[in-house]
Structure formats: C-alpha cells, structure tokens
Amino acid sequence: MSPIIKRLGVIANLQRPGAEAVLLRLTQWCRKHNVPVALCDEMSTSATDSDVVVPRDQLAATSDAILSMGGDGTLLATARLLGDSGVPILGINIGSLGFLTDQTPNDLETTLKRLIEDDYEIQERMVLTAGIADADEEEEEEYYALNDVVVGRNDIRMINMALYSNGDYICSYAADGLILATPTGSTAYSLAAGGPILNPEMDAIIATPIAPHSLASRPLVFDAGEVLTLEITSHTDVAVMTIDGQVSRRLMKGDRVRVRKAHYYTRLVRFRENSFYHVLRSKLHWGVLPSRDSSSSD
C-alpha cells in the first residue's frame, strides 16, 4: 500500500536550464492546492517570502515525499541524503536522459495531482554499502550506493585486484577497474562496460570488470546475501573508490573494499505506465529494430 502524501520536500539542481521556472510552477501549484512544501536550504536564493526553507538534514523529517528535480545525479545524491529514512523519492527530469528521473516538467501539474491523490506505486530498490579495511583490518566509515561502487585506476596504469565472496577466492583482475552494481545500476556504468541488464526490483550484485586484460574476465552476478571483498594488490597507490560517480576515496595497496547489501532500500515513486521495460524501450531504444528502407530490395 502506498503511503499517504500530504507534505512535499524539494531538492533541485538549479544549475540546470529552466529549473527555476519549474520550481516556481511547483510551489505555485502547492500553494493553490494547500499542499505544504519545503525547499532544501541550498535553494534559498530562489525561494520567495512565502516558501518554507529547511536544512538538508531535516528535509526527510518534514516531508512525506521528496521531489528530486534535475538529472539522475541529483536523484542519486538525494537517495544518499535520505538514507534509511524510508521517505520516497519522485524524480523530475530536467535536461538529460533521466533514466531514474522519468517524469518530465511538461507533466508536472498532472504528476503532482496524481501524487496527492495516491495514484502511484512505490518501488523498493536495493542499496549497496561499501566499507574500506586497511592491511591491519581496521575498517573505516561505510558508504552507500544506489547505482554502483566502482574501484578504478587513478592514473594510466592498470590495477591488480583480487575478488572474494564470503571469504572464498574467486579470481584476480588486471584491469582499469571493477564495477559492483545494484540492479538499479545495471543500466548505468556497468551496462556501458558490457554488464547485464537486471530488473531493478531484484536483489543481486553485479561485478563488471572495466577493460580487463584477459578474454576470460566476464561479468558475474552474485546473490544479494553474499559479501564481496575486493583487495588491491597493485604495488603503487593507483586506485580510487567512487560511490555513484559522486563520492571518491583513494585506495592503497592492501586495502580491502567490502561490499554488501545495505540494511535498507531506497523507495522510488513510480507510475504504472512507466514500467522498467517501457523506459528501456523509450530511453535506451532497447530491442528497436532499424527502420527498413522501403525502396531497397531483399
């Protein structure tokens, strides 16, 4: 059952062309329909005297749903901000492909009306947690990723890595890096590197090597209950871990990146007509046959 939404929070990338105009339409609609709306404090310069502005870390507590206005990067950052709060996110795409943010500004008022009238569905998306342990097994803070955890090279040299599952050795890589992706992230960097597409409502972990120096290195799909450990075996400090393409951390030889399923799911607002397979066809042109020139002969 979908939660009842009475209060909205907004996080927007106002650097996108047209974003401020869309934000104005949103706040005007909310005032007209007596829907409380709170803006993230980073948007205060675009707020009017009648707008409510709250700190980022209080937005989840004051909202029943968060509107993420921008591209997929804005939604990924919003998901990390909300963490395990359980507050659902609705993505409004402004400008780019928007695979996660599948609602458009053209449909803004209709989208808001459907949201308030409970005409929507909630999808729960698996999240990864990544921790780094050094050679002395001292583990630092954890990071959370909705799309992927990428261990990649930090200069022109390849990285040497060893992959383990629940402590069992799987294989070694000499490659530009390794992508550990969620099913949601299967259509992002992992797909570009040759990984498989998974239904985003599944629970699984994909390991996709980046430019491996071996024809035998192929993507692997693991059960979500497995704990994957990636050990850096290169002799120099050449690696970096990146979370959802936004948060980075340098890695040293002997560092181990432990990746597992997080204790919570990110909740996304979806509308029935925008199924995963519809989005595949409309935005990635999946399975679309090339048009045939009627003038050509068989």
Catalytic residues: 72
Report the alpha-carbon distance of residue 165 to residue 222 in Å, rounded.
Answer: 9
Task: Of 186, 177, 166, 180, give the one whose Cα is nearest residue 251.
Answer: 177
Residues 51 and 128: their CA atoms lie apart, in Å, by 35
Q: In angstroms, rounded to a whole number, what is the distance separating the alpha carbons of residues 161 and 296? A: 51
Tokens 């599948």 belong to residue? 102
Spatial distance between the Cα atoms of 278 and 289, rounded to a whole number of angstroms: 15
Cα–Cα distance measured from residue 117 to residue 31, given in angstroms and rounded to the nearest whole number: 16
Segment (H or E) for 25: helix 19-32
Q: Which DSSP helix (H) or strand (E) runs through 180?
A: strand 177-181
For residue 203, what are the CA distances in angstroms to 88, 93, 123? 19, 26, 12
Show Cβ contacts of residue 158 under 8 Å, excluding neighbours closer than 6 positions.
174, 175, 176, 213
Q: What angle do CA 201, 203, 205 make, to 5 degrees?
A: 120
User: For residues 248 and 72, what is the distance between their CA atoms, to the nearest angstrom?
Assistant: 18
